[in-house]
Structure 1
């Protein structure tokens, strides 16, 4: 039981730390916006940071969470936002839907049956809609922080493409994102054995390094990155 409590504590610290990385979040919000349509569902909304950002641009939005305790927090935080529906969801599932898109950031790496999870996301989306994914990149960067927060794997474009193709999705866009972030994450977690939680390092990275990285990657997509960003279409 102690290990489980520790994992939840570390996971919460990481989520809270990432919540302070405002520039990072807004960059990743922008990546998905053109593909969300009018009524998307997010798988694994966590504390609701992305849901709040995306919903400001959309008529309807559905936020979901698998963890019961975090679901309670999510409902409380989003209670004053009538355009956002909040519900529990655990993938893989057999549920169907008619959402315009299914978006999931940093969730798929937690799921053993990731192909089944992608199929489930596709089933939630209307024909020709999108499945939008961000996952952590490169197995060499798998650290004790990854393991403690429940990561089963990290991805490359090749392994992400294989999983999406096996799930019956047609890939529309895929690239690495945040090249300098990968270097920083590897150094912090694998060399210095630190967790990316709230503090001066996250603030310096987000305010000084991130804007430079974002501007450079608008011009040239890097050959590596901290994340893989992928957009795929569901069958017509």
Structure 2
């Protein structure tokens, strides 16, 4: 963890810190796998950690990024890999190819003012009847200086996610909270102790000891709260 007061490098440090949370990433990778189809597109691929994992399971994969610096790093990491394309994309977009089996986006919608328009854009990229898959941070009470420093406009509940997807013309198939203990840990670290996720012993301890227990428990019982909201919806058709 790192002190967040006045730290201009917080966004990069958070991304790099989360990249070391291997068990967390594997869990969230597996949540989306059943819904990706044969040719998914990821919106907001960041450093490409999820893209690398998902691309192993599909014939074709398209990674996208809006930030120029991260786009360059993404192209350096993924460019030239068989079956993977890298695009520049910012949501909402007028591009509506309708060629992809699914559009997946993790921790992106909370950055976008017109999140309903962003969901409509994702739906426009997908074939009729394809899926839109998202993960977003949960519960406004957990909004912290870390959220603000990383450009978060909002955090979600199942209700507000349902409202946004319904307004975007999507039909929800799956909607639940994920990582209940992670929410408690995140709130304590960021709101009480004023720390930010960063590569180090605290993140490794959580990822190694706490995360596997949480994941196993949530396979049996869906919790009434969580650090994230996971949603899958179908496009019309």
TM-score range, shorter chain: over 0.9
How far did 1:6 drift?
5.2
Once residues 202 and 85 of structure 2 are traced to their aligned partners in structure 1, the CA distance between those partners, rounded to angstroms, is 34
The 5 A counterparts of 1:1-236 are: 7=8, 9-97=9-97, 98-236=99-237
Moved more, 86-95 or 71-80: 71-80
Once residues 199 and 148 of structure 1 are traced to their aligned partners in structure 2, the CA distance between those partners, rounded to angstroms, is 20
- Runs of 5+ in structure 2 lacking a partner? 1-5
Once residues 84 and 21 of structure 1 are traced to their aligned partners in structure 2, the CA distance between those partners, rounded to angstroms, is 24
Q: If the length of structure 2 is used for normalisation, what is the TM-score? A: 0.96
- Runs of 5+ in structure 1 lacking a partner? none
Once residues 26 and 80 of structure 2 are traced to their aligned partners in structure 1, the CA distance between those partners, rounded to angstroms, is 21
Answer whether contact 2:36 2:102 (CA < 8 A) is retained. yes
How far did 1:79 drift?
2.3
Answer whether contact 2:21 2:204 (CA < 8 A) is retained. yes
Q: If the length of structure 1 is used for normalisation, what is the TM-score? A: 0.97
Q: Deviations over 1:96-132 (max 9, x none)?
A: 1210000000000000000000000000000000000
Once residues 52 and 80 of structure 1 are traced to their aligned partners in structure 2, the CA distance between those partners, rounded to angstroms, is 13
Aligned to 2:3: none
4+ residue runs over 4 A deviation: none
Once residues 69 and 116 of structure 2 are traced to their aligned partners in structure 1, the CA distance between those partners, rounded to angstroms, is 26
How far did 1:83 drift?
1.3
Q: Deviations over 1:164-204 (max 9, x none)?
A: 00000000000000000000000000000000111111000
How far did 1:13 drift?
0.4
User: Would you say how many aligned residue pairs link Structure 1 and Structure 2?
Assistant: 231
Answer whether contact 2:47 2:70 (CA < 8 A) is retained. yes
